[in-house]
Amino acid sequence: MDIVYNPIGYFRTPFSEIKGMPIQPIGANGIEGSIEVLPEFREGLKDLEGFSHVFVLYHLHEIKGYDLLVKPFLDKDRHGIFATRSPKRPNPIGLSVMRLKGVNEDSVLLECIDVLDRTPVIDIKPYVADFDCCDADRFGWFEGKSGNARHHRSDERFAATQNK
């Protein structure tokens, strides 16, 4: 079965290369960018400005191939891809929660941008704390390491052109 998604727009960000980017939105505090929404989807922006944060799903277009075991940015050990936030996934889909700064007729203005410029956007969904906030009590191998994401920056380890 083929699954096909078409972009609803494209990120405009200050990041022209993967190396040096924040690895998570928490490390991108104060970094602003936008999503240029394609004309046929702009009507769908109605009422979005009433939210403080949004989930953005996007296609990691610079990632080639995948690995089922990876050494993530925040650890020295290899972990299964589904236990990491590594971009080198069987389906290179990114997910970030970003602060919504505003909405105009053709774009969504965001803060906490951790995405490469011109990345295709698949979807935008409002963040609703009553739906999306969990009382998590286990953090796997991230325990004691996740706080480092605030200052850690990307290198090129996941940009390799290995295809599987």
**Residue range 43-98, pLDDT digits in tens:** 999 999 999 999 999 999 988 889 999 888 777 889 999 998 888 899 999 999 99
CATH 3.40.630.30 fits 9-150, yes or no: no
What's the confidence (pLDDT) of residue 21?
Answer: 84
Distance CA 43, CA 40 (A): 7
Residue 25's pLDDT band (boundaries 50, 70, 90)? confident
The CB-side HSE value for 163 (13 A sphere, CA atoms) comes to: 1
Instruction: Write the DSSP symbol of residue 24.
Output: S
Q: Quick one: tokens of 100?
A: 């919504």
SS3 3: coil
SS3 61: coil
SS3 147: helix
Give the predicted TM-score (pTM) of the model: 0.81
Domain extents in the chain? 9-150
